[in-house]
Structure 1
């Protein structure tokens, strides 16, 4: 991370926040289109799913406005059993515990000045058909008076894996990475494999993807462009897999497998996920932070 003067970042913050909002609108429209075109299978007779949008707010200790966003959730659709697409732009002062964690990561000046600004998009989709994989994606920008960086990624979480789906998802993300740096995909794939590992189960929560954090090459425009391309690659990586699997017949055993895999997903998000911890510790809307949890999950 490189130290930066705060002044140039007012316009950059606005651009980043506007992009995450634009990406949210693209994804919501694409997912509702999938609902409209689902005309086969046991859920085809349901009304096409639509997102319910709820504003979220962050309030400071003295009641002052510290930003907010939109929580967009669709439940009980034809394709999606539950999917959330959240955006937020928040600022304020980090609580002592979060400040200490940032300082321990080496954020310049954080030990002395706990102010922050953060904006991003976070998505988790849990599907009706057990053959259609769950998926996660998020990208974000973080700023402090001493530093800035980008982070995010996407990973696929099938309960029943198909090698061709895994390869397609990874190939699409690889192409987005290679357009910026041929070293990004192998580095960020390995990071995802490590980050999305569930230690107490001794296994990954899915088939991976890419994950990156603390991205600051010193060139804000280049890093922002990469983060935009990661977000823009999500729909091309995920929608074709969904279209390939959404009409595939399934059994009750398949559904049980799906529920148990969701239990693994819930365990990871509640115990290990950095974003969940940060959101709850910084006072963000708890419903939005916990949007990632599946509607139904089972354990052995």
Structure 2
């Protein structure tokens, strides 16, 4: 680890291990959905399985800078493409990132000591059936010698929205926020602002929750909330897959899905902070860009 503070080192180890365990749980659940997909329109296909690749973060001096696990499933019965990535990386921030953080009043000293450590899980799923919504989720911990925080969230991205699906997803996100009055409303509004495509003047989906810079001074409480977000993801999403995966669709439905994927790609390439950070800090480009859909269209 980068520092000699036993409590900081223990927290990093604990957080990274939990993100890794969450990754394992989600991968298993998604492969289970593929097994159950025999009842759907792609029953003749073999159930999809994740291809798992270890990734390495590039460092300028060639030293160990961490890495992660990239897990991608393509061409499944239920999932057309889904990535569930875990990472634990460290090193020194690039000049642009240092400049941005050095300007923050809560991080004095970043210009003099730009070390960082980060771990988290990032997930994006693009579905076979246009009636099944695409989805995104991530949770992460970020550390510097001058301060650290948690961030993350989840949002639903249907090409063909259903009010009951949106209500179910948001109910689970609200449940994840239990314990602090007004938290869900605040993080829902944050998601609405963050997952917005300015040049299209529209949201990329039907929202969810989003948070960043979570550092209340109670690390255990902040970590517990981050765990709650992660634990509520599968109950929020899996029932929607089970409800929609066997529905029939038309050519117009598929066209709507492909055009909506174009919007998703635009957002992730132009605005998404995680994409920018991953590329700027030298993480494996394929892992960073796994969020892009397998096929998309633009009107």
Q: TM tier, shorter chain?
A: over 0.9
RMSD: 1.2
CA contact (8 A) 2:78 2:129 kept: yes
Q: What CA deviation, in whole Å up to 9, does each residue of 1:149-202 have, x standing for no partner?
A: 000000000000000000000001101101x31221011000000000000000
- Aligned partner of 2:137 in structure 1 is 137
Could you tell me which runs of 5 or more consecutive residues in structure 2 were left unpaired when the two chains were aligned: none
Q: What CA deviation, in whole Å up to 9, does each residue of 1:34-84 have, x standing for no partner?
A: 000112333111000000000001132121001010000000000000000
Q: Does residue 213 of the first structure (1) align with residue 212 of the second (2)?
A: yes
Measured in 2, the distance between the counterparts of 1:266 and 1:296 equals: 10
Tell me the SS of whatever aligns to 1:222.
helix
Measured in 1, the distance between the counterparts of 2:111 and 2:61 equals: 23
Quote how far apart the aligned CAs of 1:7 are: 4.0
CA contact (8 A) 1:5 1:145 kept: no
CA contact (8 A) 2:58 2:284 kept: no
Q: TM-score, normalised by structure 2?
A: 0.97
**How is 1:185-196 mapped onto 2 (pairs within 5 angstroms)?**
185-196=184-195
Measured in 2, the distance between the counterparts of 1:5 and 1:65 equals: 18
- Aligned partner of 1:172 in structure 2 is 172
- Aligned partner of 1:149 in structure 2 is 149
- Aligned partner of 1:287 in structure 2 is 286
- Aligned partner of 1:117 in structure 2 is 117
Quote how far apart the aligned CAs of 1:278 are: 0.4
- Aligned partner of 1:162 in structure 2 is 162
Measured in 1, the distance between the counterparts of 2:291 and 2:103 equals: 27
Measured in 2, the distance between the counterparts of 1:18 and 1:26 equals: 12
CA contact (8 A) 1:276 1:290 kept: yes
Measured in 1, the distance between the counterparts of 2:286 and 2:243 equals: 32
Spell out structure 1 runs of 4+ moving beyond 6 A. none
Measured in 2, the distance between the counterparts of 1:46 and 1:61 equals: 44
Which moves more between the two structures, 129-138 or 33-42?
33-42
Tell me the SS of whatever aligns to 1:81.
strand
Measured in 2, the distance between the counterparts of 1:92 and 1:248 equals: 48
- Aligned partner of 1:90 in structure 2 is 89
Tell me the SS of whatever aligns to 1:38.
helix
Q: TM-score, normalised by structure 1?
A: 0.97
Tell me the SS of whatever aligns to 1:108.
coil
Could you tell me which runs of 5 or more consecutive residues in structure 1 were left unpaired when the two chains were aligned: none
CA contact (8 A) 2:55 2:284 kept: yes
Measured in 2, the distance between the counterparts of 1:202 and 1:129 equals: 26
CA contact (8 A) 1:6 1:145 kept: no
